[in-house]
Structure 1
Amino acid sequence: MQAQNDILSLTDIKLLVDTFYERIQKNELLGPIFNERIKDNWPEHLDKMYRFWQTVLLEEYTYGG
């Protein structure tokens, strides 16, 4: 297993979130559940997730929800 870098920036968070949701969307069990719930609102959902993790991991308070 390859060692990974720490998450230090918004760019790192976007890579994590984008990779996670790309895999979720392709998963035969979870993909339909997420796609039904999120529908055509993926850009908005991803932006919310970026802001959430930016607040949690970087302590840059961009999410309030």
Structure 2
Amino acid sequence: MPSPNHVRVTEARLAARKEAAEMGITAEQISDLVETFYGHVRQDDLLGPVFARAIPGDWGPHLATMKAFWSAIVFHDGGYAGRPMPAHMKLKPQISPEHFGRWLALFERTLDEIGATPAARAGFLERASRIATSFQAHLFYDPYDNA
């Protein structure tokens, strides 16, 4: 007999897959989103230099990680078990909230370019906005800053 946790995980995954299908999100679309988006990032005058220093060589592993990350977010497939915050903390001296605004703008542009449905676009943007807000809170929030 499966454990209650296993049942809940299975139900959550099935619900996530159903929701993704209703929004028109597929694994192929996630791959296209990641490939296209990071192509734009690499060419961007603000983000490109930061990413070039962080990923100076082969981008293949990073793209694979990002595909697993977005797949885990959308499908709850358990394919990503990383910890992105430590990697971003290393970049703190090089980044500002402006970088996150640009990141979101490029992400939104990419969703339009790949032909995401309105529902998929909204779902991805909602998740991306939450991620950006969370990262910025960890990176830049100072509870003692009363300015």
Distance of aligned partners of 1:7 and 1:40 in 2 relative to their CA distance in 1, 3 Å threshold: farther
1:8 aligned onto 2:8: no
Is the Cα–Cα contact under 8 Å of residues 7 and 13 in structure 1 kept in the other structure?
no
Q: 23, 28, 36: which is aligned to 2:45?
A: 28
Match of 2:106 in 1: none
Offset of residue 8 of structure 1: 2.0
Q: Select which of 57, 64, 75 maps to 1:47.
A: 64
Q: By percentage of residues, which structure has more helix? A: 2
Distance apart, 1:41 and its partner CA: 3.3
Q: CA deviation at 1:30?
A: 1.0
Gap regions ≥5 residues in structure 2: 1-22, 83-147
- One-letter code aligned to 1:23: H
Label 1:12 to 1:54 Cα distance change in 2 as closer, same or farther (>3 A): same
- The residue aligned with 2:34 is 17
Which consecutive segments of 4 or more residues in structure 1 shift more than 6 A? Answer: none
C-alpha distance in 1, partners of 2:24/2:40?
19
Q: TM-score, normalised by structure 2?
A: 0.39
- Paired letter, 1:9: T
* TM-score of the two chains, using structure 1 as the length reference: 0.82
Among all aligned residue pairs of Structure 1 and Structure 2, give the percentage whose two residues are the same amino acid: 33
**Structure exhibiting the larger radius of gyration computed from Cα positions:** 2
**CA RMSD in angstroms, aligned pairs only:** 1.2
Residue correspondences, number: 60
1:61–1:7 CA distance, 2 compared to 1 (3 A):
farther
Give, in angstroms, the shift of residue 7 of structure 1: 5.0
